């Protein structure tokens, strides 16, 4: 019995040892799993690589690896072992990072566990899973912290490299160890040419004296200074002015014996020089300008006036008009002052009466009578402006110009009248003599062989051919006669003549013309008005036929008291008005200019609007007041 008891105890001890060995073997397996997971921090660069590798290692550390599946969810990343599925029995732990849950770890079982086996597996695997989740959370936190630190370091380096301020640093041997992009941009020397190059300062400061001072500055790292200007040579041989500052002692940086920040102030110094030159140039232009110029403050009080302005107004001394105010000048209307208050620029012509100035004793002048002035009044600056806030007035004495303009106007009117008379004479000659003679010749050709029946057919054919040519020539002569002088103006009146002309235009060109009139049936227009309106429309239609490539034309002629309004519009290809004006002057084509001149003779206004591929519009307005009005 004693032997049986000893044998049972021995068996029990063996069983206990086997369980201990099994437990130790499982612990070793768990430790090996944890060790492998911990080493992933060294081999996995990203969170996604980390969880993908870790999820495959987890089942090997569990009690029943063949029955175990695992899944890790971290932020937007998801990794699982093959054939993973949600099971009734499972372990789950959150992954906590700073200190928010960022995901979770799940451990499931393919087969249902029961009894002591289930209890043991869940307990042991739960402890392992808890440790793994803790280790992964720490590793993820470390990785995120390392990434954040690397990002901060990279951001710091990017700021240093790309900031719009020059930054260079020197080590204890006096060699340049930092040369940022702005240093490269300003100097033209790349960092690879400067950093570590003991001859770098020879390139930048070829002047030995300046280089010696710069070297002394580097060695005296405790001597701070601000905005000291230096001349530095660039790669292209030019020199730039650098405002250099040394703040090494206040802000020491390990590895840098001294460091400097610099700003390229070459453009500033050039701008200052240009500004000084500009001020001198402005003063010279102001004083020597042949156009009168005066400056006032925002309340219209005179500040300054140039020599030309004083001469225009007959003023000998600037001191006599120091207190002059533009708004009190009787020649300047209240309307102009109000417009100036609400607008930047006012341009107008004025008849300036010196007698009014003398009566109100505005200023002393040597002139008398009246002159014609063109005034350009411009408001400078404005509310809140840090620049000059006032008014600039430009004066031009256009008295001679006005007189010459009147003479040209009269001569032009005489010229156009003489031109129309000559056209009328030539038109009548063409109609009464040339066309009639050609008609007689045509009739003679057609009847020359009426009495002779033996004339060969070939001769009759030639006669008929020349008769056709004569017929076409007669038509051309009559059209020319009509173009030179529309006889219908005296017989049919302006409206019917224009209507016939539009119909003829459509017949010749195939371009439909919509001709509309209103309010002109019962008024009596003088011949000058009629012929000039006719010529303008005639010229416009000729231009449309030759250049516009239009498919429709609209002409409106209406009376709108106290004016007659004319609108001519087409849907053609249009043109650039400024370019066309220069081209017309160069090629001596003055069709539009002739139209403008005819309207000016009627004291009217002429406006043309056109853009490429957007058609052309001509707006004309002439004054007209009948006797009833």
Q: What is the CATH number for 243?
A: 3.30.450.20
Query: Do 168 and 151 lie in a common domain?
Result: no
* Domain limit, last residue, from 91, 123, 156: 156
Query: Do 48 and 93 lie in a common domain?
Result: yes
Does a structural domain hold residue 277? no
- Range among 7-21, 130-144, 276-290 rated most confident: 276-290
Q: Which residue has the higher pLDDT, 211 or 500?
A: 500
CA distance 115 to 84: 24
DSSP sequence for 285-303:
HHHH-SSEEEEEETT-BEE
Does a structural domain hold residue 312? yes
CA distance 79 to 71: 6
Does a structural domain hold residue 211? yes
CB under 8 Å to 372, separation ≥6 — which residues?
Answer: 349, 350, 351, 352, 397, 398, 399, 401, 402
- Range among 288-302, 338-352, 381-395, 449-463 rated most confident: 288-302
Of 295, 290, 319, the C-alpha closest to 307 is 290
Place of tokens 């160069």: 586
Give kind and range of the element (H or E) at residue 179.
strand 176-179
Query: How does pLDDT run across 298-339, given as a tens digit for each residue?
Result: 888 888 899 999 899 888 877 767 678 888 888 888 888 888
Does a structural domain hold residue 280? no
Mean pLDDT, range 509-528, rounded to an integer:
89
Query: Do 313 and 251 lie in a common domain?
Result: no
Name the domain count of the chain. Answer: 5
339: which 2 tokens? Answer: 């417009």
| pTM exceeds 0.85, yes or no | no
Query: Do 518 and 386 lie in a common domain?
Result: no
* Domain limit, last residue, from 113, 132, 156: 156
The distance in angstroms from the start CA to the end CA of the chain is 155
Query: Do 372 and 418 lie in a common domain?
Result: no
DSSP sequence for 584-621:
HHHHT--HHHHHHHHHHHTT-EEEEEE-TTS-EEEEEE
CA distance 489 to 495: 9
CB under 8 Å to 485, separation ≥6 — which residues?
Answer: 420, 423, 424, 426, 427, 428
Rounded to 5°, the CA angle 322-324-325 comes to 140
Query: Do 141 and 33 lie in a common domain?
Result: yes
Does a structural domain hold residue 279? no
Sorting pLDDT into bands at 50, 70 and 90, what band is 431?
Answer: confident
Q: Is the pLDDT of residue 122 over 80?
A: no
Res 520: pLDDT: 86
List the single range of 213-217, 290-294, 512-516, 517-521 with lowest mean pLDDT.
213-217
Residue 528's Cβ-side half-sphere holds a number of Cα atoms within 13 Å equal to 15
Domain with 549 in it? 492-629
Contact 247, 227 (CB under 8 A): no
Average pLDDT over the chain reads 84
Q: Which residue has the higher pLDDT, 242 or 629?
A: 242
Largest CA distance in the chain: 178
Does a structural domain hold residue 259? yes
Res 210: pLDDT: 74
Query: Do 481 and 504 lie in a common domain?
Result: no
Res 118: pLDDT: 65
Of 38, 21, 22, the C-alpha closest to 131 is 38
Mean pLDDT, range 33-55, rounded to an integer:
87
Q: Is the pLDDT of residue 422 over 70?
A: yes
Query: Do 42 and 146 lie in a common domain?
Result: yes
Query: Do 575 and 600 lie in a common domain?
Result: yes
423: which 2 tokens? Answer: 């056209």
Q: Which residue has the higher pLDDT, 372 or 14?
A: 372
Contact 474, 438 (CB under 8 A): yes
* Domain limit, last residue, from 124, 140, 156: 156
Query: How does pLDDT run across 45-62, given as a tens digit for each residue?
Result: 888 888 899 888 888 888
Q: Which residue has the higher pLDDT, 620 or 68?
A: 620
Res 371: pLDDT: 92
Backbone phi and psi for residue 348, each to the nearest 5 degrees, phi listed first: -165, 160
The burial of 206, by beta-carbon neighbours within 10 Å (0-12 exposed, 13-18 middle, 19 or more buried), is given as: middle
User: Percent of the chain having pLDDT more than 90?
Assistant: 20
Query: Do 28 and 147 lie in a common domain?
Result: yes
Q: Which residue has the higher pLDDT, 94 or 320?
A: 94
Of 386, 187, 229, 392, the C-alpha closest to 303 is 392
Does a structural domain hold residue 406? no
Q: Is the pLDDT of residue 341 over 70?
A: yes
Res 509: pLDDT: 92
Res 264: pLDDT: 93
CA distance 613 to 526: 38
Backbone phi and psi for residue 441, each to the nearest 5 degrees, phi listed first: -65, -40
Query: How does pLDDT run across 565-582, given as a tens digit for each residue?
Result: 999 999 999 988 877 665
Query: Do 338 and 318 lie in a common domain?
Result: yes
Taking residue 344's Cβ as centre, other Cβ atoms within 10 Å add up to 10
Give kind and range of the element (H or E) at residue 446.
helix 435-447
Query: Do 299 and 388 lie in a common domain?
Result: yes
Q: Is the pLDDT of residue 219 over 80?
A: no
Angle between helices 591-601 and 527-543 (to 10 degrees): 160
Q: Is the pLDDT of residue 590 over 70?
A: no
Return the CATH number at 149.
3.30.450.40
Sorting pLDDT into bands at 50, 70 and 90, what band is 190?
Answer: very high
List the single range of 181-190, 452-461, 514-523 with lowest mean pLDDT.
452-461
Sorting pLDDT into bands at 50, 70 and 90, what band is 390?
Answer: confident
């Amino acid at each position: 019995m004693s032997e049986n008891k000893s044998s049972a105890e021995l068996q029990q001890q063996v069983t206990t040892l086997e369980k201990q060995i099994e437990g130790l073997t499982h612990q070793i397996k768990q430790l090996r799993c944890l060790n492998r997971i911990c080493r992933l921090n060294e081999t996995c660069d990203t969170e996604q690589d980390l969880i993908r590798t870790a999820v495959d290692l987890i089942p090997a550390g569990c009690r029943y690896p063949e029955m175990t599946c695992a899944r890790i969810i971290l932020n937007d990343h998801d990794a699982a072992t093959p054939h993973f599925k949600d099971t009734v029995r499972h372990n789950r732990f959150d992954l906590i990072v700073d200190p928010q849950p960022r995901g979770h770890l799940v451990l499931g079982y393919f087969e249902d566990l029961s009894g002591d086996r289930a209890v043991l597996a869940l307990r042991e695997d739960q402890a392992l899973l808890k440790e793994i989740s803790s280790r992964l959370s720490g590793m993820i936190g470390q990785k995120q912290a390392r990434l954040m630190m690397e990002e901060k370091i990279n951001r710091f380096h990017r700021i240093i490299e790309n900031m719009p301020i020059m930054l260079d640093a020197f080590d204890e041997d006096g060699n340049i160890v930092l040369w940022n992009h702005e240093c490269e941009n300003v100097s033209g020397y790349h960092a690879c040419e400067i950093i570590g190059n003991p001859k770098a300062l020879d390139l930048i400061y070829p002047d030995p004296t300046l280089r010696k001072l710069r070297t002394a500055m580097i060695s005296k790292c405790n001597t701070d200074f601000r905005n000291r200007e230096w001349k530095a040579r660039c790669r292209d041989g030019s020199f730039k002015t650098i405002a250099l500052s040394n703040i090494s002692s206040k802000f020491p940086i390990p590895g840098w014996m001294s460091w400097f920040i610099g700003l390229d102030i070459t453009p500033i110094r050039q701008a200052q020089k240009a500004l000084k030159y500009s001020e001198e140039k402005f003063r010279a232009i102001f004083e020597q300008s042949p156009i009168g110029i005066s400056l006032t403050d925002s309340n219209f009080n005179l500040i300054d006036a140039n020599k030309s302005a004083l001469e225009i107004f007959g003023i000998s001394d600037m001191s006599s008009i120091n207190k002059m105010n533009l708004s009190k000048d009787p020649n300047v209307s209240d309307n102009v002052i109000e417009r100036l208050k609400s607008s930047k620029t006012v341009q107008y012509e004025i008849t300036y009466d010196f007698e009014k100035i003398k009566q109100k004793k505005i200023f002393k002048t040597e002139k008398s009578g009246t002159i014609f002035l063109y005034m350009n009044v411009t408001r400078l600056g404005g509310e809140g402006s840090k620049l000059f806030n006032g008014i600039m007035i430009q004066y031009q004495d256009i008295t001679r110009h006005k007189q010459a303009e009147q003479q040209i106007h009269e001569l032009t009117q005489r010229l156009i009248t003489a031109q129309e008379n000559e056209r009328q004479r030539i038109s009548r000659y063409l109609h009464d003599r040339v066309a009639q003679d050609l008609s007689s010749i045509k009739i003679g050709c057609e009847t020359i062989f009426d009495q002779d029946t033996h004339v060969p057919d070939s001769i009759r054919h030639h006669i008929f051919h020349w008769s056709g040519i004569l017929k076409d020539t007669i038509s051309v002569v009559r059209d020319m006669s009509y173009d030179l002088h529309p006889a219908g103006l005296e017989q049919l009146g302006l409206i019917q003549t224009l209507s016939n002309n539009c119909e003829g235009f459509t017949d010749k060109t195939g371009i439909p013309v919509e001709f509309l009139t209103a309010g002109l049936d019962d008024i009596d227009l003088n011949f000058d008005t009629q012929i000039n309106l006719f010529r303008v429309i005639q010229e416009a239609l000729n231009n449309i036929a030759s250049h516009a490539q239009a498919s429709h034309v609209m002409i409106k002629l209406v009376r709108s008291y106290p004016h007659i309004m004319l609108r001519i519009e087409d849907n053609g290809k249009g043109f650039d008005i400024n370019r066309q004006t220069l081209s017309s002057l160069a090629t001596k084509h003055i069709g539009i200019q002739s139209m403008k001149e005819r309207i000016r003779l009627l004291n009217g206004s002429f406006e043309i609007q056109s853009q490429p591929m957007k058609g052309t519009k001509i707006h004309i307005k002439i004054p007209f007041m009948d006797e009833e009005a």
